[in-house]
Amino acid sequence: MGLVPPRKGKKDSTSIILWRRGASNVKITARSKTEYVKIGLFQVVFRYLILYLLIAMKKSLLVSPRAGYKLWAATYDDGFNPARDLDAVVVKKLFRNARLGMVLEFGCGTGKNTRVYARIARHLLALDSSAAMLEQATKNVRQTNIEFHRADIRKRWPAASGSIDLVACSLILEHVRNLDHVFNEVRRCLRPGGRLFISEFHPYKQLEGKKAKFETQGKTMLIQAFQHHVSEFLAAGKQSGLELTELHEWWHKKDKGRAPRLLTLMFTRKR
C-alpha cells in the first residue's frame, strides 16, 4: 500500500496508523480512497518496471546445464574457447598411441573428442544428457563404431558391469555436485585394470571465477558449476577403489604466469 503525505492546507478526512517508530505510532494520512488505490497501483507497476529493466540490462545470466547446453549446442564449436581447445590438444596428445576395446565417453557434447576415442576404440559408447548437443555430435562424427545415447551421469549408467576399458570425461564434472556417485558407477562399469580419464577446468581457474560461458543475443550466459578441489577427486577415487596413476596441469598459451586452465587425472581400477 502506498504512503501519501497530507495535502498542504487541507484537513484530512482519513488518518490511519501504518507503522510504529519506537514507542510512538506514526500517523499517515490518505487523500481519498480512490486516490489511495491509484497511487498504490502505480507504485506496484513502477516497481515491476524497474525490476524488468534491471533484468533486461543485466549482461550475464546464470543458467542450468540443461538450459545452457540446449542454447549453446548450435554454436558450441565456433569461435575462441581456450578450455575447449586446450582439452582437444590434451586428449589427442595423451591418447595418440592408445589401442582400446570398449570406451565410454560421458559428456561427449558435440563430438570434439568422440572422433579421437572412436579412432582408438573397438567400440565407443558416447553419452550426454543434452539432446541438442547429441544432435550436433551425430552430424559431426560419422565413424561407425560409435553408439550415441542420451543419459544423465547422475543416474545409473547404461553399461554392463565390468565391461569398459576406458571411461573418459572432459569438462562435464564441473556440472555435477556429487562425485561419489560418478566414481561408483565408473568402478562398476570398468573391468579390473580399466582406467578413468578426467579433464576438468582447474579448480584454481574456477576460483578466479571462470565457468563455462557463451554469448547469445548480446548476453553472456554462464552455466551453473560446482567447484571440486584436487583432494575431492582423490577422495572420491579412494572411496570407490580407484587408484590415481597420473595427474597433469595444463596451461593455454594465453595463461602464461597465471593459474593452469585444465587439470587431468587418470585413475585405474585395481581389481
Q: Which residues bind ligand SAM (CB under 6 A)?
A: 65, 69, 84, 87, 107-109, 112-113, 128-130, 133, 152-154, 170-172, 175-176, 212
Do 252 and 202 contact (CB within 8 A), yes or no?
Answer: no
Give residue 91's identity as a one-letter amino acid code: V
Q: Which is nearer to ligand SAM, 175 or 228 (CB)?
A: 175
Q: Which is nearer to ligand SAM, 28 or 68 (CB)?
A: 68
Q: How far is CA 172 from CA 82, 145, 176, 267, in A?
A: 16, 23, 7, 17
Residue linked to cell 553408439 = 147
Closest separation in Å from C-beta 56 to ligand SAM: 27
Q: List 196's β-bridge partners, or say none.
A: 167, 267
Closest separation in Å from C-beta 49 to ligand SAM: 36
Q: Which is nearer to ligand SAM, 87 or 165 (CB)?
A: 87
Closest separation in Å from C-beta 104 to ligand SAM: 12
Q: Which is nearer to ligand SAM, 12 or 77 (CB)?
A: 77
Q: Which is nearer to ligand SAM, 112 or 202 (CB)?
A: 112
* CA-closest candidate to residue 103, choices 129, 115, 121: 121
Closest separation in Å from C-beta 25 to ligand SAM: 56
Beta pairing, strands 190-201 & 262-269: antiparallel
Closest separation in Å from C-beta 47 to ligand SAM: 36
Closest residue to ligand SAM using C-beta atoms:
109
DSSP E strands: which ranges in 1-120? Answer: 14-21, 24-30, 60-63, 100-106
